[in-house]
Structure 1
């Protein structure tokens, strides 16, 4: 059974140090969302008969009170009467300094370590001196007893006394050296601590605990599942693509950040693209007014047109400032880590492996001179991971090692994927354009002729063999009005294009031998009537 949570900001009478012991409740499962995490804790309680109050923790002080939920998972008759989250300020316990701590804190830690070692050494020297003192008493007793019985072993007695006195002097000098060093350490440590107290004030730590009131009909063991939301945790997808000949290995990973105040050790991790924060805010509505007006005579005689750039692609999430969200195609996606993972609460990025697959891949060398003069190696393969590939960065690995970083778009299972594996330094492309304008016919139609010349060259090392096919893509405008016509002059193109698609993309497959050069010419016309303006 479960109950609604209550909140409290001050510890009750059973705070740490009181009669109620604190029961450890480590995190066992986490569902990480885009900007928060759903944390779950599962444990077994030894209950007594009747009503009793339990204190669980410590838990993150950032836990959202209204999401706190407790549920007993046993067949025994037991009921949760109350569950609440209490917080208290507690001094921070001693801990080794971190890499980003100040030099004073590191110095204090080093001095305390040295002082502890010297104190242990001083105790050992004192114990050694006590043993040597007892040994000297035994030697003197032996001398007295031997002299009383008529023995005369002066040289041996002298050697024994000299050896004991020498060891006592040696260890006494070592003890004085240790005491002097401890005195100097105490003075230096006091000065450093005073300086640190002036420059750094260590605030108390806000610690949270869960107070649980349960009623059990009989004594026994019952299971408890405790869950809540907490901020300061997020994840983003990341990939690693390794190209080996005609095959490619794609590893899917999750970059997880969390600074909730408690470490996640050996938890079952689930990754979700659900946006719980957006569910509480309705979309904003803006006023959209449509106004009709009469066109003037000049406007009726002319058609205004303009050239615009339009990206060809699928709809996706709107761009946001800061860290981008996860592109999940408009549907909540859930991924699971195959093994328990550990993510410390340090605010740093941690990689969590999710899946990996190996598949065949096709490669081509592509170039779009209007966009870039570089020839890029493009790899195409199918998504065989069994789940969607969310949009994210990709580390590109080739035979020589890390070669760069690319971007992977949202891809459904089985869909084709394209990855650019960097540019080729041994290729060069030069683009030249010409434009001529003329008026023809009685209607004075305006004809704009544009000529694009592409010069490709390949620089090869001595002894390099084999031709290389470079796929060159150029574009021609696509008209949306009948008053403007676009015509590709294939008879003037050299060579003729291998393909022209509906989006105006013209493609050639250019074969370059080692050290070879090729030229490609594209010619097209824009024809507009006399009433068209803006061309």
Structure 2
């Protein structure tokens, strides 16, 4: 018992009056997508036998007409088992009405809105008075200029009238002083009214919402074989609504509590009150057509003898990454790892249509955490506290900002990367101010005449010190990471000179990451030395 919008309606009399109040059609469920919302509305109707036209609403005028869908379900068992066509939706459409607000406040407006209107009227009157006073001062300035020109011309012709000129100049100066004082007073009053109007407008914006001028109603034409109750379900898409994930991480000793939240913004024109909220990362507006194929030609060129004898080397930076989504610069959308994710709010929520951010709690879990003080001197001279934990929320953690809280309170904000259910994750809880890190690099280059090999030797020294408060005890382990180049060709070899390293690194992985676990007592200092050499054959260039 479904329908497609704008089905032809049979020519039957309409028993419903246009002036009758519409039947309420509240929002009962919302599926918030990345940049829009799928709205579900339900209403219980008491239908009479025959064809009837119903008017329901009001609904948001932003509803997308082509997504409007209506479905009727009988609530009585005998009607549910009745013949086919016992309940039919013949037509469903949205009719919009525009009711412009008048220039003056109406009787049902609040005192705050009336105050704003009165201040606006007073401001307009003061601006007009200021303009009149400024115009009068300009005229008096022109009159004074004409009088001075007359005095100059009369003196040149030998016609003098000092008494009249003095009297006229005194009168003009007196009037200019009077109107200048009035203009200053009007300017001060205008400034006061402007400040009061700005405060009242901000208070009105914070306290109440501008009533909508464009309102929509759902017109529904139904046919019932017998009278009785029925359940109406109407769905449609609405823009001006979106959501993004957010988190709050609380570190308490060796345990971490992660609270997942959804931040919602909606300006659809109607409030969502006690609705079932579902959050989806589906991109309904994304194009589903495959990209167009273009011609890509590959051309083979014979290398010269000199090119075949020489190997060109190139140093490049690569990011170490595991399987997962590509990194996202900023947060243009919801990073879901390439698969649509659906989350549900545990309880009904209410989101007003004010365009502001509203947080909705989704889940919370506490898990053991392993804290580590880590430092990568080549990237930053800071020692950062890293916390590693497993995702025990039961759902994927999407990329989003995290409010970091420690025993001392709020410590900053970080970013949580996409984490699958049960997968490990890590958060950086900020740098430690009681550490100092200094890094020095020395490089030598030598070419041996016998083997015609180029040897580049590098020595990296990292000076690590701990500034402790009086009375602090106990060593603290700091993980220091450096890196060495990784060769992809046999003509170039990279070797760590362990005999020159102090101390010997605890680990050197396949990606060239060298790791030390350095223990520092309060006020202690350590120097870590890494020595490695790069050896290239004589037929290589670019090193």
Work out whether residues 498 and 504 of structure 2, in 8 Å CA contact, stay in contact via their aligned partners in 1: yes
Partner of 2:83: none
Partner of 1:343: 351
Partner of 1:400: 408
1:297 deviation in Å? 2.8
* Aligned partner (choices 455, 462, 468) of residue 454 of structure 1: 462
Distance 1:238 1:490 in 2: 46
1:283 deviation in Å? 3.1
1:208 deviation in Å? 1.2
Q: Greater CA deviation, 84-93 or 232-241?
A: 84-93
Partner of 1:4: 4
Distance 1:425 1:287 in 2: 57
- Spell out the pairing of 1:64-103 with structure 2 (5 A cutoff): 64-74=64-74, 76=79, 77-92=86-101, 96=110
TM-score (norm 1): 0.77
Partner of 1:237: 245
1:97 deviation in Å? 8.9
- Spell out the pairing of 1:168-207 with structure 2 (5 A cutoff): 205-207=213-215
Partner of 1:497: 505
Matched, 1:257 2:259: no
1:6 deviation in Å? 2.7
1:478 deviation in Å? 0.6
Partner of 1:151: none
Partner of 2:381: 373
1:275 deviation in Å? 1.2
Alpha-carbon displacement from aligned partner over 1:16-50 (angstroms, at most 9, x marks no partner): 98244311111100001111111000110111111
Q: Greater CA deviation, 228-237 or 87-96?
A: 87-96
1:387 deviation in Å? 1.0
Alpha-carbon displacement from aligned partner over 1:453-495 (angstroms, at most 9, x marks no partner): 0000000111110101100000001111111111111111100
Gaps of 5+ in 2: 80-85, 123-192, 202-209
Distance 1:109 1:80 in 2: 51
TM-score (norm 2): 0.76
Q: How many residues align structurally?
A: 441
Distance 2:114 2:243 in 1: 30
Work out whether residues 97 and 105 of structure 1, in 8 Å CA contact, stay in contact via their aligned partners in 2: no
Secondary structure at 2:498's aligned position in 1?
coil
Q: Greater CA deviation, 348-357 or 101-110?
A: 101-110
Distance 1:330 1:97 in 2: 52
Alpha-carbon displacement from aligned partner over 1:46-72 (angstroms, at most 9, x marks no partner): 111110001111111111111100001
Secondary structure at 1:309's aligned position in 2?
coil
1:7 deviation in Å? 9.8
Q: Greater CA deviation, 439-448 or 415-424?
A: 439-448
1:317 deviation in Å? 5.2
- Spell out the pairing of 1:287-326 with structure 2 (5 A cutoff): 287-314=295-322, 323-326=331-334
- Spell out the pairing of 1:86-485 with structure 2 (5 A cutoff): 86-92=95-101, 96=110, 104-105=116-117, 107=119, 205-314=213-322, 323-485=331-493
- How large is the RMSD of aligned CA atoms in angstroms? 2.8
1:518 deviation in Å? 0.2
Distance 2:111 2:361 in 1: 30
Distance 1:322 1:103, change over 3 A: farther
1:314 deviation in Å? 3.6
Partner of 2:43: 43
Matched, 1:515 2:523: yes
- Following TM superposition, the consecutive aligned residue runs of length 4 or more in structure 1 with deviations greater than 2 angstroms are 16-21, 91-98, 101-110, 279-289, 314-323
